[in-house]
């Protein structure tokens, strides 16, 4: 989807609202947008943020809607309307007339001798008169992001389920314990009587001790996995 471009003035009210809308995944109610703007306001703008929703509505209208960055999706009279990014054509329909108006105003002051500009500047203004879209910023490609706050809980849940599937824990605790018993039996020393040498005496206790420690770890991990899946 082609949407309105990022505002040129990086520390403006328009930039605050645009950034807030992006943080909210391109669609938000007025109250959500107001709260997010308040949260990030000091990071972008140098002036004080609006202190009420009514103040914010005036800023929203003047700095975002009238300039073609956002559009209102809810009908008139809705208490908490929904806003989204404006399509590029909406931005263009508002930006071109404003650009033409500024261009004609500047040229009229130059012709009246009230303002002096360079020849390059004059050429640029004349190009705008012929094709105002040539001086507009290009559209921005936008798609809904799945890793935003609105979807984070679902994404975490899905990731956890996939991880649990890969672990494939035992479905029956009794089966798991039986498997552990078999492992313990395999770790026991042979029943054949053998006269140990001095070097062989401490070997079997050490082996059994290590094996039991490993079994304890296996049990703890398995129980943790079962608790997670449950």
Start-to-end Cα distance in the chain: 41
Summarised one tens digit per residue, pLDDT across range 42-70 is 999 989 999 999 999 999 999 999 999 99
The reported pTM is: 0.60
194: region left, alpha or beta (phi > 0 left; psi from -120 to 50 alpha) = beta
Q: Are 11 and 44 in contact (CB under 8 A)?
A: yes
Q: Are 65 and 91 in contact (CB under 8 A)?
A: no
The mean pLDDT of 148-160, rounded to a whole number, is 42
- Dihedral angle sign, alpha carbons of residues 56, 58, 61, 67: negative
Summarised one tens digit per residue, pLDDT across range 181-211 is 655 565 555 554 444 444 444 444 444 454 4
**Domain positions in the chain:** 2-141, 169-229
For tokens 């004609």, name the residue. 104
C-alpha to C-alpha distance for 51 and 148, rounded to whole angstroms? 26
The three-class DSSP label of residue 148 is coil
Q: Which two structure tokens, joined as six digits, stand for 125?
A: 């203004």
CATH class for the domain made up of 2-141: mainly alpha
Quick check: 113 pLDDT over 90?
A: no
Structural element, H or E, at residue 3: strand 2-3
pLDDT of residue 156: 37
Q: What is the DSSP string of 122-139?
A: HHHHHHHHH-GGGGSPPP
Burial of 208 (0-12, 13-18, 19+ CB in 10 A): middle
C-alpha to C-alpha distance for 112 and 163, rounded to whole angstroms? 73
Residue 105 confidence class, pLDDT cut points 50, 70, 90: very high
88-98 in b/e form (b: 16+ CB < 10 A) is bebbbebbbee
């Amino acid at each position: 989807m082609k949407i309105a471009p990022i505002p040129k003035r990086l520390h403006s009210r328009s930039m605050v609202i645009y950034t807030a809308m992006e943080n909210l995944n391109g669609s938000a109610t007025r109250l959500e947008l107001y709260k997010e703007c308040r949260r990030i306001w000091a990071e972008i703008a140098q002036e004080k943020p609006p202190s009420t929703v009514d103040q914010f509505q005036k800023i929203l209208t003047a700095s975002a809607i009238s300039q073609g960055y956002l559009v209102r999706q809810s009908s008139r009279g809705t208490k908490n309307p929904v806003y989204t990014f404006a399509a590029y054509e909406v931005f263009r329909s508002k930006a071109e007339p404003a650009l033409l108006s500024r261009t004609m105003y500047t040229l009229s002051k130059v012709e009246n001798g009230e303002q002096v500009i360079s020849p390059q500047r004059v050429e640029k203004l004349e190009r705008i008169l012929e094709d105002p879209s040539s001086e507009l910023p290009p559209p921005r490609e936008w798609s809904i992001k799945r890793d935003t706050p609105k979807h984070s809980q679902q994404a975490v849940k899905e990731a956890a389920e996939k991880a649990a599937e890969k672990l494939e824990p035992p479905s029956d605790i009794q089966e798991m314990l039986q498997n552990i018993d078999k492992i313990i039996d395999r770790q026991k020393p042979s029943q054949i009587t053998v006269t140990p040498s001095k070097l062989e005496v401490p070997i079997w206790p050490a082996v059994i001790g290590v094996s039991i420690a490993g079994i304890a770890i296996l049990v703890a991990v398995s129980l943790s996995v079962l608790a997670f899946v449950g």
